[in-house]
Amino acid sequence: MPKRDYFDSPDAPLANDLTPVLNVAVFNAAAELLLIRRSDNGFWALPGGYMEVGERFAEAAARELVEETGIAAEVTGIVGVYSDPRHVTAHDDGIVHQQCTICLRARPIGGQPGATAEASVTAFFDRRRAMELHMHPTMRLRVEHAFDRPSDPYIG
């Protein structure tokens, strides 16, 4: 289903739905972060997606990670919770989601990064390279928080 993303835009439609979404910050042994180049919009992002009914957050994270990257991982913590009402996504069916995302930290336990239907590129990046990539402002915030490794998760 096609969608349009809005951030802090006067043209944004009003949200009419709140759906849990998750992202996964996976670091390799070299402290590089796994990022995908999204097939739908070309933005770089942390892997992730919608949580399904009957799943726990960690289960949804593991499922989405394998689907989007080919990497299996173990969830080890939380980067933060993101709920900025200025960020909405409008779908063709009239549903407008307000951002409601939990970002989990994980370590890889198997698999190899590769392209998928949702990710044209999957690769690990150091902080400098990651911050040079074209990404949505709310995703950039999650990536920064993942690299900062705060002692307390971000809540915002």
Q: Per-residue pLDDT tens, the chain, 156 aa: give them.
A: 578 889 999 999 999 999 899 999 999 999 999 999 998 889 999 999 999 999 999 999 999 999 999 999 999 999 999 999 999 999 999 999 998 999 999 999 999 888 888 899 999 999 999 999 999 999 999 999 999 977 789 998
pLDDT value of position 33:
97
For residue 1, what pLDDT is reported? Answer: 53
For 7, 22, 34, 65, 153, the CA distances from 114, given in Å and listed in that order, are 29, 20, 11, 11, 29
The confidence score (pLDDT) of residue 28 equals 94
Residue listed under structure tokens 């390279």: 129
Domains of the chain, by residue range, sit at 3-149
Helices marked H in the chain — which ranges?
57-69, 127-132, 137-148
- pLDDT for 9: 94
Between strands 17-18 and 96-98, the pairing is: parallel
Superfamily of 3-149 according to CATH: Nucleoside Triphosphate Pyrophosphohydrolase (3.90.79.10)
The answer, as to whether pTM is greater than 0.85, is: yes
